[in-house]
Every structure is written in C-alpha cells, then in structure tokens.
Amino acid sequence: MQEQFKSVMGQQAQSMVPQQAKVMDNGRIWLWGFLAVIVLSQLYFVRELLAAFALFALGFVALAIVVAGLYMLQKSWEVGMARLAALRHPVIDMATVSTMATVRRENQKAA
C-alpha cells in the first residue's frame, strides 16, 4: 500500500515539474518585457512621444465632452419644446404682434 502511494506521489511530482518550469518561463518573459519598457522609457524621444500622446488624448477628451454636452443640450431643448407644444401652451399659440395690434384697434373702436 505504501509503495503504491509513493509511486502515485512520485508520478504527480514528476508531472508538476514541467508545469512549474512553464510558469517560471512565463514569469521571465514578463520580467524581461517590463525591463525593456523601463529602459525604453528612459530614452528622450520616447518620453516626448508619450507626452505628445497624452496631450492629444486630453485634447480629444475635451473635444468629446464639449460635443456630447452640446448634443445633450440640443436634445433636452428638443424634448422641452415638444412637451410645450403638446400642452398647447398659450405662448406657442400666441398670434403675431401685427395681429394683436389689429385686434386692439378693433377693440378700441368697439368701446
């Protein structure tokens, strides 16, 4: 019984060795990549490119916020005017100034 247990454990240990090596190799790849990024970021032109990218990104974000704000403002105005027209509010149905002046003159003649 003990011999079977030892043989099973020995097989499991042997199968885990390649998996651990694969994990360590994967970790080494990430480590070298990280080190390469650190070294490249120390170069002047890479810093300049990153700074330019950051400025353009901020500019595009600001532009997108302005466009989205204007779009929402226009849509809220549109919904507000649609609701006001649906209520048939007197402000919407008011006559023109010249028509109101004519009505006033007629009312003065009648009085």
Task: For residue range 61-87, list pLDDT tens digits in order.
Answer: 999 999 999 999 999 999 998 888 777
pLDDT-flagged residues of the chain (< 50): none
Q: What is the pLDDT of residue 26?
A: 80
Residue with tokens 């009312």: 107
Q: What's the pLDDT score for residue 69?
A: 98
Predicted local confidence at residue 5, as pLDDT: 55
CA distance 76 to 38: 49
Measured distance CA(77)–CA(8) in Å, rounded: 75
pLDDT of residue 75: 96
pLDDT of res. 83? 85
Inter-residue contact 83 to 92 (CB < 8 Å):
no
Q: Which pLDDT score, from 0 to 100, does residue 2 have?
A: 57
Give the pLDDT confidence score for residue 25 in this predicted structure: 80
Per cent of the chain over pLDDT 90 is: 30
